[in-house]
Amino acid sequence: MDEKHFKSSEKVRDFVIGMSDGLTVPFALAAGLSGAVSNTAIIITAGLAEIAAGSIAMGLGGYLAGRTEVEHYQTEEQREYDEIIHKHEIEIQETKDIFAQYGLDDTLQEKIAREMAKHPKQWVDFMMRFELGLERPDKNRAFQSALIIALSYIIGGLIPLSAYFFLDTPAEGLKYSCVITIFCLMGFGLIKSKLTGQPLLKGALRVTVIGTLAAAAAFGIAKLIA
């Protein structure tokens, strides 16, 4: 029987980051402006500007995070190659210590460590994973992360803003935007929980409550200031 494991956690994480912020931030902005202005054109313009700036900023953040992960791995990998040459016996002992944690006796520890030392690349890969806890990142990860985050932010941001395109007053736009966005937040929460293996109802409610509270706070502040 085949084992089923979810293997796209990084892409899901990027999607969740972009979509959750995309649904929440423009929604809160539009709600806040609805309490301060009387023209939907202003809300649409400000909303589109925020979506553009937000998607670029979020995408750039994802790209930099991805590049940092790759560069960190490469730096640590080069350090491990240097250590297996210049600190050979220390690395042998560290390898033995790892196997000792899994209950292997001294004889097996010594035998396996010495055998692994004959294959530097595999040995370094082993030490990267089990000594440092690092997995080799995909070299294309930075670009993929930036693209997924930016696109999901744009999609998420257009959802709460869409109501204002078809209605004449901010009050009407806000009413329909709230209904549309709350349903989308619930749906997104369900999908997020399903993909990550979390309780469906709990995940949906958490996302919905956070988005709603953000919009309510922005609307209330705008009303007090206006």
pLDDT in tens, 169-212: 888 888 888 888 888 888 877 877 776 677 777 777 887 887 77
pLDDT at 89 over 60: yes
The residue extents of the domains of the chain are 11-71+141-225, 72-130
How many angstroms separate the CA atoms of 95 and 120, rounded? 13
Q: Out of 69-73, 112-116, 208-212, pick the least confident.
A: 208-212
- Average pLDDT in the 99-121 region? 87
pTM value > 0.85:
no
Query: Which of 49, 24, 9, 41 minimizes the C-alpha distance to 153?
Result: 24
The pLDDT value recorded for residue 5 is: 46
Contacts of range 205-214, beta carbons closer than 8 Å, 24 or more positions apart:
207/20, 208/182, 210/24, 211/23, 211/24, 211/27, 211/28, 211/181, 211/182, 211/185, 212/182, 212/185, 214/24, 214/25, 214/27, 214/28
pLDDT confidence tier of residue 153, bands split at 50, 70 and 90: very high
The pLDDT tens digits of the residues spanning 1-34 come to 444 444 457 787 888 888 888 888 888 888 888 8
Please give the Cα distance from 193 to 141 (Å, whole number): 23
Tell me the C-alpha distance between 175 and 183, whole Å. Answer: 13
